[in-house]
Amino acid sequence: MLALVMPATYSSAQAPPKVEGDHGILNPDDTGRAMLVRKIEMGVIDSVTCSLGVNTSKYDDHQLARRLATLCAEAGHTKAMTWMSHFEANGIGGEVNPVAAAKWDKRAAEAGDPVGMYNYGLSLMRGMGVELDQARGRQFIDKAATEGLDVAKHLQDVGYDLDEITPDAEE
């Protein structure tokens, strides 16, 4: 077994000091808000940064969450598009905006994301943010089910009864 030897200046329970120099940062913050802000500032909008970004909404930093999700969605990351839809539909970090929510879901759906397909299908079936179109909504639900999304399969199984999946959505 290989033993890790720590320098005498700090214990194994302490992180090594962060040092900024001419060539960058030695031992930068690797997680959390600081890392995400740094990556945004550096223009690093990659799949790893975007996948970690959902946690920003859990920090109650909704402005940072929207900023990162917008950048990631604009860069083509479909999961970020569905985050944006969620933020818009629920007024997280801004006003409730069902039109914007439906647009983000449509964009995700058109990019092949099953969650986007499902959510956009629901919007069409409810007329939330888009014109009511039951038939077209079912087509999006069916495509999501074909892609393997279990909740879409369930909606098919219950005859597209929206009260079976979200009984209080209309309230």
Query: 79-109 pLDDT, tens per residue?
Result: 999 999 999 999 988 899 999 999 999 999 9
Positions of the chain with pLDDT lower than 50, given as ranges: 1-13
Angstrom distance (rounded) from CA 58 to CA 8: 37
Place of tokens 């030695």: 26
pLDDT confidence of residue 16: 65
Does residue 165 sit in helix, strand or coil?
A: coil
pLDDT confidence of residue 8: 47
pLDDT confidence of residue 91: 92
pLDDT confidence of residue 138: 98
Angstrom distance (rounded) from CA 73 to CA 75: 5
Query: 160-170 pLDDT, tens per residue?
Result: 999 998 777 66
The DSSP line for 94-108 is S---HHHHHHHHHHH
Angstrom distance (rounded) from CA 147 to CA 106: 16
Q: Domains of the chain, with CATH numbers?
A: 28-164 (1.25.40.10)
